[in-house]
Structure 1
Amino acid sequence: MDKTYHKQIKKIAIVGPESTGKSTMAINLAKYYQVPWVPEYSRYYCEALTTPCTMQDEINMFHGQLALEHSVLVMTETDFVICDTTFLTVKIWSDAFFGKSPEIVLDALPKHSYDFYVLLDIDLPWEDDPLRDFPNQREHFMEVWHNELQQLGANYKVVSGLGEERLKKAIQVIDEFLLA
């Protein structure tokens, strides 16, 4: 029997549009709180792709993110973990690229929630990366993130700022969540 049945481990998700510093933030928060973090599975997956991403690839990334998250949750002794994004990203990218989302993702969204989301703002300068696609649509995707989180009834806060200021604001909203 895995540990998730023995105690409730809170999941704090770091989310947002491309190039908002999610991975850096997740790592820094995990270090600060001395808790495990769940990396973004799709980054590793997409780095290995040799052809354009397909709907099946999106489904594979969904399963991979859940498996990675589960492996961290069953191994942790802490009260919470930091998740570098969630499979909600699969829905957002599937909608953007294919005009629809995989049914398995839509079915799982209301059943697989996170306790708190830190939505990173688009105030960081864009950084080119071969896995990033939409440098001119950051405002659009910020709105998409707001809409998706609101449709889920998610508990979330937007964090903006540069460098240490951004990290301090994220710590502040997470502390407020943890103390509530």
Structure 2
Amino acid sequence: MSALRIALLGAESTGKSTLARALHQALPHLTGLRVARVDEYLREWCEREGRTPRADEQLAIIQEQERRADALAASHDVLIADTTALMPAIYSEYLFADTSLAAWAHQAHRRYHLSLLMSTDLPWAPDTMRDGPHAQAPVDRLLRRWLREAGHAFVVVQGQGPSRLEHALDALTPLLGQVSPGQATGAAKPVGGLFSRLLDRQSRLPGSTRWTCELCDDPGCEHALKAAPSPQDRHRS
């Protein structure tokens, strides 16, 4: 079976990298699964080059992002992706009015079983690689539209500090429960508690529904707009 792929998406300064690191640290301990994290290549590229990419450089960036994801997914049970090809493609539309990368990015993103969409509820954290807070809301709106129109399963994650991690774990637990730990060296012995803690909450949801309202940031009141496919279903497709 292929790895369970979880995408972390969001506008600038919405906590993607912080949550990716927290999940990467917590999940092996809680589940015994072999968990990998692929970091954002776009940011690495910008830091290395000292500038933002031109429109003609974006395709190579999204291809490298997914190449790295594939390499890690091949030897792990779970892949936490600190963005996917969708984010550079969205910035191409936002910055350059270039939609030529959309089809490629959506096709690549369909291999991810669920996207965690970062809410814009965190304080803005400036750095030299970010456009500024003025870009956050329009990128968030564009990202939600892309996810909704393409039918990608997603959950909005909110909260600060430990509550943001707990919110993400709530969303991921139903999918994580379907993953069998691999036999490769490095798989941890689970400490237990993650699945039993959320069993009652998941059992109250109808069928295999997931929290995927594109506007509501509270998973407790989100409606099932789309059922996230199981890892097995996504692998067969």
TM-score range for the pair, normalised by the shorter chain length: 0.7 to 0.9
Deviation string, structure 1 residues 23-43 (Cα, Å, up to 9, x no partner): 110111011112111111111
Q: Partner residue of 1:25?
A: 19
Distance apart, 1:151 and its partner CA: 1.6
Q: Partner residue of 1:83?
A: 81
Structure 1: distance between partners of 2:12 and 2:152: 20
Q: Partner residue of 2:151?
A: 153
Runs of 5+ consecutive residues of structure 1 not aligned to the other structure: 1-6
Return closer, same or farther for 1:161/1:100 CA change in 2, 3 Å cut-off: same
Distance apart, 1:107 and its partner CA: 3.2
Q: Name the SS for the 2:80 alignment partner.
A: strand
Bigger Rg over Cα: 2
Q: Partner residue of 2:4?
A: 10
TM-score (norm 2): 0.67
Q: Partner residue of 2:99?
A: 101
Deviating more after overlay: 108-117 vs 53-62: 108-117
Q: Partner residue of 1:125?
A: 123
Indicate the percent of aligned positions where both proteins have the same amino acid: 29
TM-score (norm 1): 0.87
Distance apart, 1:146 and its partner CA: 1.0
- Runs of 4+ in structure 1 deviating by more than 4 angstroms, as ranges, are none
Q: Name the SS for the 2:155 alignment partner.
A: strand
Paired AA for residue 166 in structure 1: R
Structure 1: distance between partners of 2:120 and 2:51: 29
Distance apart, 1:52 and its partner CA: 4.7
Return closer, same or farther for 1:52/1:46 CA change in 2, 3 Å cut-off: closer
Q: Name the SS for the 2:8 alignment partner.
A: strand
Equivalent of 2:138, from 137, 140, 150? 140
Structure 1: distance between partners of 2:91 and 2:108: 20
Equivalent of 2:176, from 147, 168, 178? 178
